[in-house]
Structure 1
Amino acid sequence: MSVPHSIDAGLQPERTSLSFVRTCLSILGLVVACLRWLPPSNPTALVGPAIAGTLVAGAAVNEHRSRPRRMTRFAAESATPAIVTGGFLVVSVALLSLSGLWFLVH
């Protein structure tokens, strides 16, 4: 007797998506803090956080658009990692770190 195969997307893709959203929100909070407390007399220091904010917004949009496709692929057991969203977040954190170091040095 065979067990009927039902398509269940499961909770794993949903948890992954929610973790990306939480990470985007926390990095955006850091961007806002950087823009709030960096001195306005040095507009060069604001370039890094502004670009990082744009990258995080792009990661959030990419996550929102790719979620249904990723859930379908997960249900079909052919899931792939969300490299683009993760890459946007990694680059934004690195850019914020380098901006902070540049601000401390100058």
Structure 2
Amino acid sequence: MSHSIDAGLLPERTSLSFVRTSLSIFGLGAACLRWFPLHSSIALIGLAVAGVLVASAAVCERRSRRRRMKRFAAESATPAIVTGAMLGTSVVLLSCIGLWILLR
């Protein structure tokens, strides 16, 4: 009895998790606008940079999805390090800005 594996499911789930994470970070950024002082340009610049990172990660994920699915089917897949690093950096940046505002 042979087991057939659909090579498209795992990369698709990874892609969907990147999309969910991106939307969550955008939501966090929108919520942070409520607490960021309007006169704090550093906080707004940091939020804009985080937004650009998340948008870039979403574009990078969208463009590389088909290539990653082909690589996964050929069993030569590599992790999406750049996309993950952009999302992780945006979370760290938002966290640092939040701490800076709290301690200020």
**After TM superposition, is the score higher than 0.5?**
yes
**Structure 1 Cα separation of the partners of residues 13 and 6 of structure 2:** 15
Give the one of 67, 81, 96 matched to 2:94. Answer: 96
**Structure 2 Cα separation of the partners of residues 47 and 35 of structure 1:** 12
Q: CA deviation at 1:44?
A: 1.9
Unaligned runs of 5+ in 2: none
**Structure 2 Cα separation of the partners of residues 63 and 46 of structure 1:** 26
Letter of the structure 2 residue corresponding to residue 63 of structure 1: E
Q: Deviations over 1:53-99 (max 9, x none)?
A: 11000000000000000000000000000001000011000000100
SS in 1 for 2:82: helix
1:24 corresponds to: 22
Give the one of 73, 76, 81 matched to 2:74. Answer: 76
Give the alignment's Cα RMSD to 1 decimal.
1.7
2:9 corresponds to: 11
Q: Deviations over 1:21-68 (max 9, x none)?
A: 000000010011112331212222212111111100000000000000
Q: CA deviation at 1:8?
A: 4.7
Q: CA deviation at 1:7?
A: 9.3
Is contact 1:7-1:75 (8 Å) kept?
A: no
SS in 2 for 1:89: helix
**Structure 1 Cα separation of the partners of residues 83 and 8 of structure 2:** 21
Kindly, what percent of the aligned residue pairs are identical?
70
Letter of the structure 2 residue corresponding to residue 45 of structure 1: A
1:57 corresponds to: 55
Letter of the structure 2 residue corresponding to residue 65 of structure 1: R
Is contact 1:27-1:56 (8 Å) kept?
A: yes
Unaligned runs of 5+ in 1: none
TM-score by length of 2: 0.90
TM-score by length of 1: 0.89
